[in-house]
Structure 1
Amino acid sequence: MVNRYWCGECSFKTSWRGGAEGLHRQIEHYAEKHPGTPPGGQIETRRRRAGRCPGCLLLAAIALVLLIAVAACRP
């Protein structure tokens, strides 16, 4: 999973980061832009799609259809 941290005081948001890197960047943002304010806001989570390749699946389906069509055309 990767997270994106949103500032509760302004429109700042981190890029998608794994682990604690996004939280660290949010804390740095608060220290620089909102000193004395405890970090807040929201955390957006996105799950990674490991091992999925919809384009590969489409190519495999097309290859299978072509193979069946060629096999059907042979005498």
Structure 2
Amino acid sequence: MTNRFWCGECDFKTPWVAEDEGLRRQAEHYARKHPGASPVGQVETRRRVTVTRQGCLLLTAGALVLLTVVAVWRR
């Protein structure tokens, strides 16, 4: 999973990074732009969706079945 940390004081947000990297970047931002303020804001979490070999196989098989049905139907 990756996270994006949003500043509670301005429109700054980190890129999608691991949690520890996001916390570090947010703390650096607060130290630089909002000295003395505690880092607050929100955390957005994104789960990576990856296509596995099994998913590609199912997609390919589905496309072949669809093409076969269309070819038979057009005769």
Query: TM-score by structure 2 length?
Result: 0.72
Distance, in Å, in 2 between the alignment partners of 1:41 and 1:19 is: 14
CA RMSD after TM alignment: 2.7
Unaligned 5+ segments in structure 1 are none
Distance, in Å, in 2 between the alignment partners of 1:52 and 1:19 is: 25
Matched with 1:26 is: 26
Query: TM-score by structure 1 length?
Result: 0.72
Distance, in Å, in 2 between the alignment partners of 1:60 and 1:19 is: 38
**Residue 61 (structure 1) shift:** 1.4
What is the percent sequence identity of the aligned residues? Answer: 56
Unaligned 5+ segments in structure 2 are none
Distance, in Å, in 1 between the alignment partners of 2:16 and 2:44 is: 9
Of Structure 1 and Structure 2, the greater helix share is in 2
Distance, in Å, in 1 between the alignment partners of 2:3 and 2:24 is: 12
